[in-house]
Structure 1
Amino acid sequence: MSLPVRLGLFYSAIFVGAGVSSPYLPVWFAHHGLNGAQIGLILSLPMLARAFTAPLIAVWADSFRLRRTALIVMSLAVTAAYTAMALPLGFAGWTVVWFVASSTFSTLSPLTDVIVLNRARRDGFNYGWPRGIGSVAFIIANITMGAILTWGSPDLVLVWMVAAVALTALAARVLLPPDPVHEEGHVATASDRFAGLGDLLRDPGFMLAAVSAGLIQSGHAFYYSFSTLAWKQQGIPESLTGVLWGIAVAVEVMFLWFMEPWRRRVGPRNLLALGAVAAIVRWTALAFAPPLWLILLLQPLHVLSFAATFLASLQLVERLSTPRNASAAQAINSALSGGVLMGVATMASGPLFDRFGAQGYLLMSAMCLAGLIGALRLYGVRRLDPA
């Protein structure tokens, strides 16, 4: 089996779990008696703390000789945490257990990105192929669990999550290559690892890239949380909501698989700026409740607002980091885009929707405008100039 396929299958193991936990864990919590405010708090706390937890986990992960070792240990830890959630712990207990589980699970993907990006550059394959396979697995898991819940108990959500992350631990051992954390093969001391993290946090070019990409990605918060309700208010049937979301994810996968030559020509700075512009257009248009035909035309902009921004951020932080702090670099990038900035934007989206309806998208446009300003400033970072 070729390495890109093996890496794609490992991404699939991660996203088969994420494709169920992301949309359906609230259903499990509600089934066990939690109200909306409690569920929102449980889900948002790990996101808000990710700016701290993700870099610390990444520094710990670099204490091993092989990169895959940390992924095995983390997957087993999440398996134990998910299993503990089956106990009648109540709101406080589930808050603690989910914080540990989510903080650990959310760092699996950026640590995998370090391996795949390094191998893609070294072996000459397109990073988007294995990552796209993972996205397909996410869609399949999402649809499958939706069908299961039409007849089965919400408790099957947790059963699926436990099985998926246990499979991820096995897949990390079987599918991932034995790449060393450091090319010399030695294990870095704790002081060296934290020094590498400190170098990143003090690097204005790196932080500018990570925060700019994070602002653009976090502009999706209102869309993720309230697009379905906003479209319902406009009279768009729920049966079409899945189609609209499916269009967005389908173009994302096509971009990952087939647009590699174009992406290389454009370069990460241009790609990030294009993503910001597309996001501003997309959210501003959706804020004014456009008709269905226009929404159908806007949804493919996901290929730029999300996929292009995502790939640009991976490349930018890779170029602005070194092998000794590559794990921390991708963890910080993920923590900002999918963590603290996304958490704040998600918390703000609820009151915005209650008061302004679809016009809450305008705050997302403002965030993406700030991200665009940051992206344009990256043209002054000389380390990103072509060699």
Structure 2
Amino acid sequence: MAALAASPAVRVGAFFGAYFAANAVNAYMPLWFADRGLSAAQIGQVLAATALLRVLAGPGWGSVADWVGRRRPVLLFAASAAAGLGLAFVLASDFLPILLIGAFQGLTASAINPLTDSLALALAREGVIEYGPVRSVGSATFMVTTATAGWLLGRAGSWLVPWLQAAGYGMAALLSLRLPEVSARRSAPNLASALALFRNPGFRIALACTALIQGAHAAFYGFAALYWRSQGIGDTAIGLLLAECIVAEILLFARGRRLIARLGPPGLTACAAVASILRWGLMAFVLPLPVMALIQPLHAATFAMQHLSAMMLLSRFVPSERAATAQAVHAALGYGAPTGLMSLLSGWLYARYGGLVFLVMAAVGGSALLLVPALWRIAGRAEPAPAGRSPG
């Protein structure tokens, strides 16, 4: 407790860890849905409803945080509500209740990631923490939780999933009480100001690249576990495959400062788009387990490189009084809407064509390469973040 009180980096890292523990368990929700009798199409609908409600709620949460001038009370409410809804899954067995619970949980949980990122970036700009190493705590916790949950589910069954999810969100709620705050000018909710973000070229290009590259993860998040299970891969091995993705991500966040600085937003996005073509193109085919294991470290490129590219652009181009709103809109339209739409499409495609759904993901993520020339031009208009305070 003394360390939590003394170090903002430890407090923010601990909150990232608890939230990402809940996120790691979310990867197993499709298995829980399937064991409750939901079809692939119904699973896609639940995932899509959860993601699309983030689009509606996310910008609102950001505006509330900018208006209050503090992120901590909003994060406390959001994490507490998400934990309660996780427990509600335990009582649900039919499609409609599961759909409603998932939708409301998506609505409340949509506040957590963008507000935590905006808090960490604000602290990084003030020189209080370094974004990459602190964010890597979340990735490390995600990896450990993914592997541990896979091991537990392989022995106890999928009934544990909602309990583990609720525990992660509940711990995040407790840790939110100790989060540091950043002094910021209060900004009243203003639709015109939020819409003005779209006149910002750095914001627009970050949003478009994120939508294509992160949206292409929808089939992986929704159906990779089912796809691997259909190939005879056990839940423990699935957990290790999912955890393996995060190892390279952690290394990039924690140790990749020089590489990130050298590539900059354009290079990071280009690498993420090329990796999307390779990763999802190979995933479309039934491969031996060792080969499948060799593919998973590409997650550091398809997810982490684009995430860092977007965070760098938002940190450079968006004023501090609109930081929470910008992060929330980016999360909603860059992650939520594309993931929701692609989840619907993925459910339909997976039900009919199985693993070939990943070929569509390769095309979507790879198309971000077309935006890289514009990104080079836009990124050149801003000075790099000061040394030691880069969001990467």
TM-score band (shorter)?
A: 0.7 to 0.9
2:244 — aligned with what? 247
1:61 — aligned with what? Answer: 65
The letter for the 2-side match of 1:327 is A
Contact 1:110 1:331 in 2 (8 A): yes
Q: Write out aligned runs for 1:1-387 (5 A).
A: 1=3, 2-20=7-25, 22-29=26-33, 36-86=40-90, 91-123=95-127, 125-150=129-154, 152=156, 154-174=158-178, 176-182=179-185, 187-191=186-190, 194-228=191-225, 230=227, 240-287=237-284, 289=286, 294-381=291-378, 384-386=381-383
Shift of the alpha carbon at 1:14? 0.9
Q: Report the Cα distance in structure 2 between the residues aligned to 1:327 and 1:147, rounded to whole angstroms.
A: 37
2:20–2:142 Cα contact (<8 Å) kept: yes
CA contact 1:217–1:305 (8 Å) conserved in 2: yes
* Structure 2: distance between partners of 1:303 and 1:73: 31
SS in 1 for 2:27: helix
Amino acid corresponding to residue 325 of structure 2 in structure 1? A
CA distance in 2, matches of 1:160, 1:235: 25
Q: Which runs of 5+ in 1 are unaligned?
A: none
Deviation at 1:48, TM superposition (A): 2.1
Provide Cα deviations, 1:30-82, integer angstroms capped at 9, x if missing partner.
56665554443233212123222211221122221322121112223333434
Q: Is the 8 A contact 2:136 2:253 kept in 1?
A: yes
**Is the contact between residue 336 and residue 342 of structure 1 (CA under 8 Å) also seen in structure 2?**
no
CA distance in 2: counterparts of 1:265 and 1:384, whole angstroms: 17
Letter in 2 for 1:8: G
- What SS does structure 2 have at the residue aligned with 1:359? helix
- After superposition, the CA RMSD in angstroms is 2.9
Alpha-carbon shift at residue 121 of structure 1 (Å): 2.7
Contact in 2 for aligned 1:68/1:179 (Cα 8 Å): no
Contact 1:284 1:362 (C-alpha < 8 Å) held by counterparts: yes
User: Which stretch shows the higher mean deviation, 283-292 or 71-80?
Assistant: 283-292
User: Offset of 1:163 from its aligned partner?
Assistant: 3.2
Shift of 1:204: 4.5
Q: Distance in 2 between matches of 1:289 and 1:36?
A: 19
Cα distance 1:352–1:82, how it changes in 2: closer, same or farther (>3 A)?
closer
TM-score normalised by L of structure 1 = 0.86
In structure 2, do the counterparts of structure 1 residues 190 and 237 end up closer, same or farther at CA, with 3 Å as the change threshold?
A: closer
How many correspondences in the alignment? 379
Deviation of residue 260 (structure 1)?
1.4
Q: Could you say what secondary structure the match of 1:190 adopts?
A: coil
Provide the C-alpha distance between the structure 2 equivalents of 1:149 and 1:239, rounded to a whole number of angstroms: 8
Separation of aligned partners in 2, 1:8 and 1:339: 24
Structure 2 alignment gaps of length 5 or more? 385-392
Asked if the contact 1:319/1:384 (under 8 Å) is kept, the reply is no
Report the residue type matching 2:211 in the other structure.
Answer: G
Separation of aligned partners in 2, 1:37 and 1:305: 25
Displacement of 1:293 after TM fit?
5.4
Alpha carbons 2:52, 2:341 under 8 Å: kept: yes
Query: What amino acid is the match of 1:67?
Result: R
